Structure 1
C-alpha cells in the first residue's frame, strides 16, 4: 500500500477535518523520524512509516469505543491488503490490545500519536493558533495542567519518548519542528491575533 492509497482510506472513513489533520500531524512526526533513523543507518521504509501513521486512527469515527478501535479497524485493513507490519504497528499503539511495541516503527508511532495531538491543542490556544509559536517550555507547562486537553494521556507522551530512548524535551522539540514543516497542511499556520 502506498501513501495515496492510505490517504484514500483515511478520507473514506474519516469525515472530521480535525481527525484527518491529526493523522497528518502524526505522519509528519513519524516520517521525520523515519528520515532521521535512516540517516543513522537503520533499515527504514519511509513509505511504510507514512502509511502506518496515516492509518493509525482511520477507524476512530466508526469505532469510537475502546477496545473496538483499533481492533475492529485492523480487520478492515487486512481485507484491504494492508501488510502485517503496518497492521501490527497500528495495534501496538494501544496498550490494551496486548500487542507489544517491538519494532522501531511501533515505538515511533506510539511516541508521536499523543504528542502530535497535544501539540495541536497547544497551537490552538496560542493567539496565532499556530504550531510555529509552540515552544518546549509551554508544552512542559501544559503537561502539568490536567484540565488542559484532558483526553491526552501524558504518561503515553513520557513513555513514548522513553521507548525511543530519547530525552523528553528532545522528542518534543523534534515533533514540534516536524509539524512546523507542515503547518499549512495541518491548518496550524499563523493567523492574525
Structure 2
C-alpha cells in the first residue's frame, strides 16, 4: 500500500481535532523531525511526515488512554476508516507503549525517539533568550537532569529513544535541534529577538 492521506488532508484533520496551539506545535515539531530522519535514512518523507503530524491528533479530544476510544485509538480508527497504509497506523500505535505494539520498523523507532525529545527541545528553547539558536546537546542534558523542568517529559523515553534508533544521544539531540531550527520562526522558537 501507499500513503492515502495527503499532507494537506492530514493538516486539515489535525486543525479540526486539535485547538490547542501548543499541541499543534508539538505535532508539527514531530512531523519536521520525522521528515528530517526520513531524508537522512532515504525513506518516504511524506509517509513519515504524516505519521509524525497525526501521532497525537486525538489527544486533546480523547486524553483517557485507558478508554476504548482513548488516545491514540481514535486517530488510528480514523486513519483505518480512510484506508490509510497500515504502516502509518502501526507506527502511531507503537509510540504508545501501553498498547503493547512492539516497535520494529525504523519509522516506528524514529517516531518514538523524536516524540518526547521534540517536546523537550521546545521547552529548552522557550527559556533561552536566543530560543533554539545555539541550543547544544550539553544544555539539553543539563535540563534533563532537573526533574522539575518540563516535568511531564518522560526522561527514560528521551534516552531510550536514541538507543532504539541506534544513534548516539548527542547526535540525536543535535539532529532534532537542527531540524526544528530550520523552522524556528514558524514554531516561535526564535527567542526574545523575535518577540522584540
TM range (shorter): over 0.9
Structure 1 length normalisation: TM-score?
0.93
Indicate whether 1:37 and 2:41 are aligned.
yes
> Deviation string for 1:85-137 (max 9, x for gaps)?
10100000011111110011000000000000000011111124x21142211
**Contact 2:58-2:75 within 8 A present in 1 as well:** yes
Structure 1: 4+ residue segments shifted above 6 A: none
**Contact 1:52-1:89 within 8 A present in 2 as well:** yes
Mapped partners of 1:77, 1:62: distance in 2: 16
Mapped partners of 1:57, 1:65: distance in 2: 12
Indicate whether 1:146 and 2:147 are aligned.
yes
Mapped partners of 1:36, 1:59: distance in 2: 28
Mapped partners of 1:17, 1:134: distance in 2: 23
Give the C-alpha shift of residue 77 in structure 1: 2.0
Structure 2 length normalisation: TM-score?
0.92
> Deviation string for 1:30-70 (max 9, x for gaps)?
111100001xxxxx211100100000000011111223211
* Corresponding residue number in structure 2 for 1:56: 55
Which runs of 5 or more structure 1 residues have no equivalent in the other structure? 39-43
* Corresponding residue number in structure 1 for 2:96: 94
**Contact 1:123-1:133 within 8 A present in 2 as well:** no
Give the C-alpha shift of residue 74 in structure 1: 1.2
Higher relative contact order (CA 8 A, sep 6+): 1
* Corresponding residue number in structure 2 for 1:46: 45
Q: How many residues align?
A: 187
> Deviation string for 1:112-168 (max 9, x for gaps)?
00000000011111124x211422111000111111111100111111100111111
Tell me the C-alpha RMSD between the 2 structures. Answer: 1.2
* Corresponding residue number in structure 2 for 1:41: none
Mapped partners of 2:74, 2:16: distance in 1: 16
SS of the residue corresponding to residue 122 of structure 2 reads helix
* Corresponding residue number in structure 1 for 2:110: 108
**Contact 1:111-1:164 within 8 A present in 2 as well:** yes
* Corresponding residue number in structure 2 for 1:3: 7
